Every structure is written in structure tokens, then in C-alpha cells.
Amino acid sequence: MKIVMLGAPGAGKGTQAERLASEYGLPHISTGDIFRKNIKEGTELGKEAKSFMDAGRLVPDELTVRILLDRVADDDCKKGYILDGFPRTIPQAEALDSELEKLGEKIDFAIDVDVPDENIIKRMSGRRACPRCGATYHMQHVPPKKDGVCDECGTELVIRDDDKPETVKNRLAVYHEQTQPLVEYYRKKGVYHTVDGTADVGAVFDSIRSILG
């Protein structure tokens, strides 16, 4: 069972991917993790990717797909896998499908964790982090005991740059332009399914499980 997780940044697809990985015994594959692992281990693919990253350039789709295929060839992926953060664009999806087709394989499910932009902006702007010990909070869902202060070390909490409303809006704009077209792409393939990401985590997970059967 090969699953692609779709959804805007902050929609909670990573959380769902982790739960699905545990439930179904499938590896949760993030392209960011694969890049870091290859670079750390000094593989040829890692060196190639690092040369682009060091130059401040995006890693080309073709190389990203090669690194991904190298990962899914591992024994733990024989039953399938969950892709989180890839593909991000139509060309990446086409390149992935083309390579999988050569292996007689295909993506079985594209699950879209759908959350309106305004919910995401509110959700992410409520996050707070401790710059000293790294503890994280949410002003609505997991607030600190004392307003604005870390429970663990007493340091004043901050809003990370990534969680500031203007940054979130920019990330959402990029998502709608580059990644949302994948909805129609996978719909045409007959593998697209959407779940209401505004529900609580458990309800979203149950919805996905009912789709996977």
C-alpha cells in the first residue's frame, strides 16, 4: 500500500502519517529526512544533492526522485510506504509515477488532509516555543502554566518565524500555486481522497482508516 499525504503546511498531515505508519507497519518517508541521511552518510546521491543545496539552489526533481526511489527500494518498504512532503509539484508526481511504472508499481492512495487557510493561520500563530530548551506549546490547545513562560525552564516563550502569520500566509500561497494542483492530478488517477482536517486528530485518523479499508 503506497500512500501520498497531501495538505497545506500546518494541516496535520505529518501527524497523521506517523499514526498511519504505526498502525499499518509502514515506513513514514519524509524527503527532508532522506536528504539529511544521505548527506550525513556521504553517499553519492547525498553529495550530489549537497552541491545544489550549498549553492542555494533547489535540488532538481530528477535527483529528488532518484533519492526517493533509492529509499523505497529498502526491505522495510516491501509492504508499502507513506510519503510525506513529496511530491510537491506536478512534474515531481509525473517523474515518480514514471519510475514506479517501470517497476510495475503505482501510488494507491493520495490522502488530502483539508483545512481552510484561516484555520491554519490561527492554528500556527498560536504556537509558542522556548528558545532555551526547545519545549513547544499552543496557546489554545497546550498552553503553558504561566502565560508566556516555559514550564520547563522559566524562559520567555517566542513565536518562531515559521509560525508568524505573514510567513504562514506566504507558505500557503506557495502551496496553493505549486502543490494544490496535485489534487486534480490524483483525482484523474482515481486515487484521490479528502478528509476534514478541522476535526480532532483521532477523528481525522478514523476517516483515513475507513478510506484505506
Residue owning grid cell 524562559: 155
Q: Which of 2, 71, 123, 127 is catalytic?
A: 127
Q: Which of 13, 19, 71, 128 is catalytic?
A: 13
| Angle of helix 61-72 versus helix 31-41 axis, rounded to 10 | 80
194 CB-contact burial (10 Å; exposed 0-12 / middle 13-18 / buried 19+): middle
* Contacts of residue 80, Cβ cutoff 8 Å, sequence gap at least 6: 1, 2, 3, 24, 26, 108
Q: Which of 50, 122, 171, 187 is catalytic?
A: 171
87 CB-contact burial (10 Å; exposed 0-12 / middle 13-18 / buried 19+): buried
Q: Which of 106, 160, 169, 189 is catalytic?
A: 160
Q: Are 2 and 191 in contact (CB under 8 A)?
A: no
Q: Which of 50, 66, 88, 122 is catalytic?
A: 88
Among this protein's residues, is 187 annotated catalytic?
no
Q: Are 6 and 90 in contact (CB under 8 A)?
A: no
Among this protein's residues, is 171 annotated catalytic?
yes
As a whole number of angstroms, the distance between CA 159 and CA 161 comes to 6
Among this protein's residues, is 36 annotated catalytic?
no
Active site residues: 13, 88, 127, 160, 171
